[in-house]
């Protein structure tokens, strides 16, 4: 029988290829095709971008950023802001240590990559997944140049993709030396300085061609975060960052360990920053408003402002001279149309750029009673109306007067002049606390206003600028006054913005504003604000918060409204601080100078003095006549020796009893002594400060 031959390998039928393998091969082919297509599209995009790039000379001549020159009301230059550019340094003139420091810390594979660094991108993605957020971007020097010149800093993938295209195109058109030259002459180093020469002059006082290793390390370290590492903002942080740069230079072989040890960034001497005066508080407030006024973002701007240099100097001096040691102060002065003529946000701009005139929110104390009495006058009350100063309890809250006693029937004028808390509480209960809050918002208070009964004593926090605006609106006969600081903006000689004053918004009827002015005059002439007198009609109000944490004086005269605040940033109590002392004196010092060249203006409502005001001098204060000397909060002349308040012959100790007798005569409960013609004269001394309000239930 014939033997059957085994089947050969070639004769076996090939097994059918599985569907999974066919799909995988198809997907692979599609992916390869897409990759080829995307690579081709990328090449096309890169070469299209390359063809549209400016020439090297054009890139050298195109600055980044916008220069802004700020002028005062008299045309003088206040400050020049924005970018500053030093001399352009060709690649060969840039110190070797500057080039190497930059490459070491910003892009150590700069010489080898094609414009983007795949290794850096991969590391960035790895860190992103490890930490859950983007920590490092993997951007090369070429990418940073593309972003600084052509794009913005938005962290969006679309922007990042365009950045890659431009970086690849830049590498195709320019040499590595040209790219590094462009980068070092155009990148932003903080403090308004663009390019290494501007940075070197700003931070070290000399040109970049003389940079040492330590200086180059400081400047190279600024690119990562110019505001954080700027030597003018934080010298220690700048030196610490320079140490990181030097270690990177050692790690990449640019310098030896011995050279690094000799560099010593800690011994660097930094150039002294230009002196900044208090006008910077104003420019810091006014210039951000440009974004809402104009659209121009490239052309150099000339900005014309409302600030008056002479008034600004007077305001600065008034705050420095009158704020007690360790106490901060702020001042805002508005012209009748809302133009800011002076703004001081603190005693020293260099040591603190925090603007207490526009940013700080503090309790205004009795200055807030402006809105209480405005609401009462609008509801029909008159300054001559009689109200009873008596104990009052509202929803469990029992306010007290600073004198710890009540005076019985008094006029609204007297109650306002001496800042009687119980009367303010009764008025608030009558007109409604929500009505008072609405009045405050109507007059420009932008911070939240509570409607608790204690709000009548100024427990809601406010800004000095808002309070000054409110008083200015009263001075404007009830028409809203809106503060503004920019009058005109020009670009390339063309006016692109012109301020227009809006006088159409009426807040209260003119007669209400006139009656309020009547009350404010009395507070200055006979009440808590006597030290704010300047020899011409003044209307104003003091404010003092519990434990003397804040002192305020706000008032107006001759078309100028000024607000003053004093206190500590940490809100600690300040012994002896009352609105009628240091703040009122600062107001008077400023206003005497600010109004000197203005005509004296009488108010429509002449001041009406309380009855006791025509009593003999020796009975209008609590000691013998002192020929007009200033008195402290206890009624004791400031230049008199301090007396023991426990002694029976001490006038200060007798002050409360004499004050009681005084109020009794004002309210008609005691006879007024017969007066002789020589007794009828303006008293020289103020009654004791009565503007200190306790917190609720105290």
> Among all residues, which ones are annotated catalytic?
106, 366
Judge contact between 469 and 483, C-beta under 8 A. yes
Sheet arrangement for strand 68-71: 77-81, 68-71, 301-305, 486-491, 494-498
Give me the residues paired with residue 329 across strands: 566
Render 112-136 in DSSP notation, one character per residue.
TSSSS-HHHHHHHHHHHHHHSS---
- Ramachandran assignment for 627, one of left (phi > 0), alpha (psi -120 to 50 degrees), beta (any other): left
Residue of 415, 383, 378, 384 lying closest to 399 (CA atoms):
415
Can you tell me the distance from the alpha carbon of 217 to that of 590, in angstroms, rounded to the nearest whole number? Answer: 48
Alpha-carbon distances, residue 298 vs 150, 200, 498, 573 (angstroms): 13, 25, 19, 49
**DSSP conformation class of 93:** G
Name the strand (E) or helix (H) holding 79. strand 77-81
Can you tell me the distance from the alpha carbon of 325 to that of 348, in angstroms, rounded to the nearest whole number? Answer: 13
| Token pair for 197 | 């020469």
Beta strands at 340-344 and 386-389: parallel, antiparallel or unpaired: unpaired
Can you tell me the distance from the alpha carbon of 307 to that of 5, in angstroms, rounded to the nearest whole number? Answer: 113
HEC letters along 492-506: CCEEEEECCCCCCCE
Judge contact between 447 and 430, C-beta under 8 A. no
Q: Which 3 state secondary structure label does DSSP give 572?
A: coil
Provide the H-helix boundaries in 528-581: none
Residue owning tokens 């080829």? 36
Tell me how many degrees the CA angle 464-304-331 measures, rounded to the nearest 5: 20
Can you tell me the distance from the alpha carbon of 403 to that of 399, in angstroms, rounded to the nearest whole number? Answer: 12
Half-sphere CA count of 624, side-chain side, radius 13 A: 3
Judge contact between 199 and 68, C-beta under 8 A. no
Q: Which residues contact 69 (CB under 8 A, 6 or more apart)?
A: 77, 80, 81, 300, 301, 302, 303
Cβ neighbourhood burial of 182 (10 Å; 0-12, 13-18, 19+): buried
């Amino acid at each position: 029988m014939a033997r059957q031959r085994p089947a050969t390998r070639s004769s076996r039928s090939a097994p059918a290829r599985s569907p999974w393998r066919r799909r995988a091969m198809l997907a692979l082919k599609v992916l390869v095709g897409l990759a080829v297509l995307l690579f081709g599209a990328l090449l096309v995009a890169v070469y299209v971008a390359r063809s549209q790039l400016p020439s090297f000379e054009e890139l050298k001549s195109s600055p980044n950023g916008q220069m802004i020159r700020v002028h005062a009301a008299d045309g003088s230059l206040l400050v020049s802001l924005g970018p500053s550019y030093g001399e352009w340094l060709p690649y060969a003139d840039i110190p070797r240590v500057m080039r190497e420091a930059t490459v070491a810390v910003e892009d150590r594979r700069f010489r080898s990559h094609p414009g983007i660094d795949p290794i850096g991108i991969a590391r960035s993605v790895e860190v992103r997944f490890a930490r859950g957020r983007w920590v490092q971007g993997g951007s090369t020097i070429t990418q940073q140049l593309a972003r600084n010149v052509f794009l913005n800093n938005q962290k969006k993938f679309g922007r990042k993709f365009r950045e890659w295209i431009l970086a690849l195109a830049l590498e195709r058109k320019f040499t590595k030396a040209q790219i590094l030259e462009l980068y070092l002459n155009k990148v932003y180093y903080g403090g308004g300085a663009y390019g290494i020469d501007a940075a070197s002059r700003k931070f070290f006082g000399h040109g970049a061609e003389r940079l040492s290793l330590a200086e180059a390390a400081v400047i190279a370290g600024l690119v990562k975060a110019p505001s954080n590492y700027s030597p003018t903002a934080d010298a220690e942080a700048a030196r610490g960052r320079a140490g990181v740069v030097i270690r990177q230079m050692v790690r990449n072989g640019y310098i030896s360990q011995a050279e690094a040890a000799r560099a010593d960034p800690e011994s660097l001497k930094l150039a002294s920053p230009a002196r900044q005066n208090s006008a910077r508080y104003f420019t810091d407030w006014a210039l951000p408003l440009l974004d809402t006024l104009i659209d121009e973002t490239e052309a150099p701007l000339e900005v014309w402002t409302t600030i008056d240099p002479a008034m600004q100097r007077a305001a600065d001096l008034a705050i420095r001279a009158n704020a007690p040691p360790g106490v901060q102060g702020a001042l805002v002065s508005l012209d009748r149309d809302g133009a800011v003529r002076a703004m001081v946000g603190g005693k020293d701009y260099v040591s603190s750029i925090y603007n207490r005139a526009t940013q700080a929110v503090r309790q205004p104390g009795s200055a807030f009673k402006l809105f209480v009495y405005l609401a009462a006058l609008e509801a029909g009350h008159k300054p001559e109306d009689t109200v009873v100063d008596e104990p009052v309890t509202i929803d469990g809250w029992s306010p007290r007067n600073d004198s710890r006693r009540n005076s019985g029937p008094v006029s609204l004028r007297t109650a306002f002049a001496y800042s009687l808390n119980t009367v303010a509480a009764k008025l608030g209960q009558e007109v409604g606390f929500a009505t008072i809050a609405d009045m405050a918002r109507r007059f420009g208070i932008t911070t939240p206003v509570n409607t608790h009964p204690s709000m009548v004593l100024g427990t809601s926090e406010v800004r000095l600028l808002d309070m000054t605006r409110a008083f200015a609106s009263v001075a404007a006969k009830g028409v809203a006054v809106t503060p503004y600081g920019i009058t005109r903006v020009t670009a390339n000689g063309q006016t692109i913005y012109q301020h227009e004053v809006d006088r159409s918004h009426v807040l209260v009827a003119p007669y209400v504003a006139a009656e309020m002015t009547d009350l404010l005059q009395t507070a200055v002439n006979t009440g808590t604000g006597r030290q704010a007198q300047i020899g011409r009609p003044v209307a104003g109000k003091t404010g003092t918060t519990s434990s003397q944490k804040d002192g305020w004086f706000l008032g107006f005269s001759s078309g100028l409204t000024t607000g003053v605040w004093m206190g500590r940033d940490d809100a600690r109590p300040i012994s002896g601080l009352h609105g009628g002392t240091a703040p009122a004196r600062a107001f008077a010092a400023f206003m005497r100078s600010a109004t000197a060249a203005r005509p004296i203006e009488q108010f429509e409502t002449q001041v009406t003095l309380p009855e006791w005001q025509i009593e003999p001098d020796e009975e209008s204060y609590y000691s013998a006549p002192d020929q007009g000397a200033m008195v402290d909060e206890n009624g004791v002349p400031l230049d008199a020796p301090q007396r023991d308040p426990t002694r029976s012959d001490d006038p200060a100790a007798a002050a409360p009893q004499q004050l009681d007798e005084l109020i009794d005569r004002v309210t008609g409960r005691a006879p007024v002594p017969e007066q002789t013609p020589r007794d009828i004269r303006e008293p020289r001394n103020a009654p004791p400060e009565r503007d200190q309000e306790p917190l609720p239930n105290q």
